[in-house]
Homo-oligomer: A and B are copies of this chain.
């Protein structure tokens, strides 16, 4: 997971498989998600490793019938593949700037365990912060997607002390980048389309600001590790061109008594349920 205080994810689980090295020469693991319904090849010891955050942002997507979904800054593809895993009609584009991470995503899709998803998920190597004609030329045309999801790099500049270049890239989300990513999301989705993201609580004002007049009907849900504790994440969804007011929803509480996830959160984490808008 991305933050040290966020220990609810898959990091503590033993990887499904561990390899000496992949084609990239980087040590890697193969991790099971959705209780084994899909698998992800991820770099080990460097780069960003996915877990709970990606599963939760994927849970924000719900659609009836066919829908097109873009996962911006997809990394190895965890969130986008989680959407494809839960929603059989979803067609998912994983957008990732890093050739190394995009390669992990492509190789994940080539795993036999993911054969049931592979023809509905594709990888686009492109910089999410492109705009205008350059963005369309890179493969991200306007008004195309029903859903755009993002699990954007969390750490602000003050946190950037990692010597790991791959991880540093994934963590280097500044205020301007937020603005650029949400602008791209607004451009490439259809009117009425839904933006979904997960972020740290301290990003809340920047996210609302970046949504600006592009989006309305923001729904923000705090995620608490346990009842009574401060939020460690916020889940945000918003509708393109909606004029509906922001709603601050009741929190999701990850754990009840003991270490187990609450049943609701376990369902979201394992692709058994969507977290529906109100």
A278 at the B interface (CB under 8 A): yes
Q: How many copies are assembled?
A: 2
Instruction: Tell me whether B251 and A230 are in contact (CB under 8 A).
Output: no
User: Which chain B residue shows the least CB distance to A208?
Assistant: B205
Distance to closest chain B CB from A132 (angstroms)? 27
| Contact partners of A231 in chain B: CB under 8 A | 247-250
Given contacts A204-B205, A209-B205, A209-B209, is CB(A250)–CB(B278) below 8 Å? no
Instruction: Tell me whether B204 and A208 are in contact (CB under 8 A).
Output: yes
Given contacts A205-B205, A205-B209, A208-B205, is CB(A250)–CB(B234) below 8 Å? no
A202 at the B interface (CB under 8 A): yes
A222 at the B interface (CB under 8 A): yes
Instruction: Tell me whether B250 and A204 are in contact (CB under 8 A).
Output: no
Instruction: Tell me whether A202 and B245 are in contact (CB under 8 A).
Output: yes
Distance to closest chain B CB from A23 (angstroms)? 40
Distance to closest chain B CB from A265 (angstroms)? 14
User: Which chain B residue shows the least CB distance to A212?
Assistant: B205
Distance to closest chain B CB from A267 (angstroms)? 16
Interface positions of A from 197 to 225, Cβ below 8 Å from B? 201-202, 204-205, 208-209, 222, 224
Partner of A247, one of B201, B208, B227, B250: B201
Interface positions of A from 96 to 128, Cβ below 8 Å from B? none
Q: Which of A202, A251, A278 has the most CB of B within 10 A?
A: A251
| Contact partners of A250 in chain B: CB under 8 A | 222, 224, 227-231, 251
Instruction: Tell me whether B205 and A222 are in contact (CB under 8 A).
Output: no
Interface positions of A from 11 to 43, Cβ below 8 Å from B? none
Instruction: Beyond A222-B222, A250-B251, list 11 extra A-B contacts (CB 8 Å).
Output: A201-B246, A204-B246, A204-B248, A205-B205, A205-B209, A222-B248, A222-B251, A230-B248, A231-B250, A234-B248, A251-B251
Chain A interface residues (CB < 8 Å from chain B): 201-202, 204-205, 208-209, 222, 224, 227-231, 234, 245-251, 278
| 24 A-B residue pairings within 8 Å (CB atoms) | A201-B246, A201-B247, A201-B248, A202-B245, A202-B246, A204-B204, A204-B205, A204-B208, A204-B246, A205-B205, A205-B209, A209-B209, A222-B248, A228-B250, A229-B250, A230-B249, A230-B250, A231-B247, A231-B248, A231-B249, A231-B250, A234-B248, A250-B251, A251-B251
